[in-house]
Amino acid sequence: MATVFERVVTATGEKPAFAPGDRVKVGTRSPIGHYRVPQYLRGQTGEVLKVIEPSLIDNEEEGYGRNAGNRRHYYRISVPMPSLWPGYEGSPRDELQIEVYETWLERAA
């Protein structure tokens, strides 16, 4: 029997969708505006290292003065350098670590 605490229902987006170890793919969208996802990262697949807590004001929205309630989960992910850059010279274990907002991530296989 679930306790009263276990029956608490959280609002949409209140809990992070991804956890450390999850494989995620960065969106390939190209919206116009203040976006904090470098072009080289779009479409890439990586692994979640950490959920940055607490959730943060989405500065992609804040850049236009729309910051009321726009808190977003923010993740530190790692991407192997050789998968980012074909012909990468260096150790195959070299990697990029970068933070991405949840709105840009989808679950990858």
Partner 1 sequence: MIPETSPSDHDHDHDHAHDDHAPVVEGRPGYYDMMETAVRELFIEKGLITAGDIRRQIEVLDSRSPALGAAVVAKAWTDAAFRSRLLENGRRACEELGISFYDDTDLIVLENTETVHNLIVCTLCSCYPRPVLGLPPDWYKLKPYRSRAVVEPRKVLAEFGTVIPEDVEIRVSDSTATVRFLVLPCRPEGTDGWSEDRLASLVTRDAMIGVIPVTLPQEASR
Residues that bind partner 1 (CB under 8 A): 36-38, 40, 52, 56-57, 59, 74, 76, 78, 81, 84-85, 89-91, 93-101
The nearer residue to partner 1, 97 or 106, going by C-beta atoms, is 97
Beta carbon of residue 101, minimum distance to partner 1 (angstroms, whole number):
8
Comparison of 1 and 60: residue with beta carbon closer to partner 1: 60
For residue 51, the SS3 value is strand
Distance CA 100, CA 103 (A): 8
Closest separation in Å from C-beta 23 to partner 1: 19
Q: If you compute the radius of gyration of the chain from its CA atoms, what whole number of angstroms results?
A: 16
Looking at the chain, which runs of residues are DSSP E strands?
23-26, 45-57, 71-80, 95-101, 105-107
